[in-house]
């Protein structure tokens, strides 16, 4: 497994990514209109987000309108809503797994179990980054295409807003944290040391072969030989 310091760095990157994804989901400036100058030279900025449309005046007045109807939204906006919400949920689940997979924590099981938990957390972070990148890329493409192809006046055109930048940066943080956590794969089990194998061999008793007789010393003779020696002495 990786060292504890690198895992903490990956956790910090993933945490920044989660916070950025949540903030980007709630921000109202996914696309921003070009500043419009009225007859009295008052600039107006119109912003559209995933959940509301806002208008900001130079006088400080800021008004927003919530998008209540879901079916009336364009497909890229519906996909952005779904993707960002799923990304936040998956990333938060990955944070819970990451706290269990950190080497500096006491919970989470054994060393090998922590490695598998860290890999699962990394997979959640990578999936969350993809759920950020895909809808954000689609949304950006729609905004740029509409800006370049339509013949509308500049006051009715929109350009990508700051929420998209936050989304892409957050996806990069999540991807980096996920890749680092996925590198926490536990190594293979090591083989038993040779000393243990030698001890097991020593404990095994040798078995004598069939038909082979072994005498500890030549002084220990069979009983028949001893009887024969006694009979010869008596005869002499």
CATH number for 119: 1.20.140.150
The mean predicted confidence, pLDDT, of the chain is 76
206-221: average pLDDT: 49
Q: What's residue 42's pLDDT? A: 59
Rounded average pLDDT over 135-163: 84
**Beta bridge partners of residue 65, listed in sequence order:** 53
Report if residue 170 sits inside a domain: yes
201 pLDDT more than 60: no
Any domain includes 194? no
Q: What is the mean pLDDT of residues 153-167?
A: 83
The percentage of the chain sitting over the pLDDT mark of 70, rounded to a whole number, equals: 69
- Note whether residue 95 is domain-resident: yes
47 found inside a domain = no
| In the block, residue with structure tokens 């109202």 | 28
Beta pairing class for 62-66 and 52-57: antiparallel
Whether 195 is in a domain gets the answer no
Residue with token string 């993933």: 14
pLDDT of residue 116: 85
Residue 119 lies in a domain: yes
120 in a structural domain: yes
> Which residues span the domain enclosing 111?
4-30+75-149+157-183
Answer whether residue 202 shows pLDDT above 60.
no
Amino acid 47: pLDDT:
87
Q: Does residue 2 have a pLDDT over 80?
A: no
User: 81-99: per-residue pLDDT in tens?
Assistant: 999 999 999 999 999 988 8
Identify the band that residue 16 occupies on the pLDDT scale cut at 50, 70 and 90: very high
In a domain, 191, yes or no: no
Domain count, the chain: 1
Residue 218: pLDDT over 60 = no
pLDDT tens digits, 44-67: 778 888 998 888 777 777 788 888
Q: Is the pLDDT of residue 204 over 60?
A: no
Whether pLDDT at 178 is above 50 = yes
């Amino acid at each position: 497994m990786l060292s504890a310091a690198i895992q903490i760095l990956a956790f910090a990157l993933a945490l920044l990514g989660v916070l950025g994804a949540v903030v980007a989901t709630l921000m109202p400036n996914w696309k921003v209109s070009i500043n419009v100058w009225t007859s009295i030279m008052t600039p107006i900025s119109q912003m559209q987000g995933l959940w509301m449309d806002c208008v900001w005046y130079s006088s400080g007045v800021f008004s927003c309108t919530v998008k209540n109807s879901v079916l009336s939204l364009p497909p890229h906006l519906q996909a952005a809503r779904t993707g960002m919400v799923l990304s936040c949920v998956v990333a938060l689940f990955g944070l819970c797994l990451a706290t269990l997979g950190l080497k500096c924590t006491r919970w989470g099981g054994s060393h090998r179990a922590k490695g598998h938990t860290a890999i699962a957390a990394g997979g959640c972070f990578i999936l969350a980054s993809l759920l950020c990148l895909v809808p954000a890329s689609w949304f950006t493409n729609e905004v740029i295409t509409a800006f370049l192809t339509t013949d509308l006046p500049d006051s009715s055109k929109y350009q990508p807003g700051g929420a998209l930048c936050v989304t892409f940066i957050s996806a990069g943080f999540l991807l980096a944290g996920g890749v680092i956590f996925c590198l926490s794969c536990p190594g293979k089990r090591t083989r038993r040391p040779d000393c243990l194998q030698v001890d097991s061999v020593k404990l095994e008793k040798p078995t004598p072969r069939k038909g082979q007789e072994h005498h500890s010393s030549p002084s220990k003779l069979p009983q028949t030989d001893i009887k024969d020696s006694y009979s010869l002495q008596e005869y002499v």
